[in-house]
Amino acid sequence: MSSTTTLLDRNHRFASDFASPDLPILPKLRTVILTCGDARVDPAHIFGIELGDAVVIRNNGGRVTPAVVEEIAALSFIVAQMEGGEPGPFELVLMQHTQCGAERFADPNLQNALREATGVDVSSVAITDHEMSLREDVERLRNAPEVPGYIVVSGFIYDVQHGTVREIITPSALAPQ
Ligand SMILES: [Zn+2]
């Protein structure tokens, strides 16, 4: 049996008392959350994110990649346009987590095996130290000319065993005015 049976069944229940038909496109919290795709790390649960609250981007490790930089650049441009050209408040929350699969990417043997088997290079998303990787990701954003400096970035680590979130990087603009 396909998992879609379960998913569609849950959607029927979700839609049966759906009461949010007129949500605005712009997220209420003016926030983008970048985190790992790990099934244990869902911002809707961890932060109580409701429909319409925030944009969530997820990838391996929740790392800032060239694709993420492009998404953030496009999103901030669209948000500014929708707000009448004024760069509005716009926050980006980076969240990594304990027991992350991206920690395994740090193993050079695994990196080589993966590269040989698939051609995929994961060296830039490997995590050996979460605090270091979070600071590196902020630097990647700061060094990306297409990402506006007014975006306020913060960094967290989520503990998958306790459900707690620890703030590593306090919110501050990429390029303070
Ligand atoms: Zn992960």
- Delimit the domains of the chain by residue range: 25-171
101 Cα–ligand 1 center, Å: 5
> Global pTM?
0.94
The H or E element containing residue 67 is helix 66-82
The H or E element containing residue 136 is helix 130-142
10 Cα–ligand 1 center, Å: 25
Q: CA-to-CA distance for 86 and 112, rounded, in angstroms?
A: 46
90 Cα–ligand 1 center, Å: 25
The pLDDT of residue 90: 85
71 Cα–ligand 1 center, Å: 20
Q: CA-to-CA distance for 41 and 101, rounded, in angstroms?
A: 12
42 Cα–ligand 1 center, Å: 11
Instruction: Please state which architecture CATH assigns to domain 25-171.
Output: 3-Layer(aba) Sandwich (3.40)
Q: What is the pLDDT of residues 118-147, one digit of tens each?
A: 999 999 999 999 999 999 999 999 999 999
98 Cα–ligand 1 center, Å: 8
Return the closest-CA partner of residue 92 out of 143, 150, 145, 40: 150
The pLDDT of residue 88: 66
Q: What is the pLDDT of residues 145-159, one digit of tens each?
A: 999 999 999 999 999
97 Cα–ligand 1 center, Å: 6
38 Cα–ligand 1 center, Å: 5
Counting as low any pLDDT under 50, the low residues of the chain are none
The pLDDT of residue 150: 92
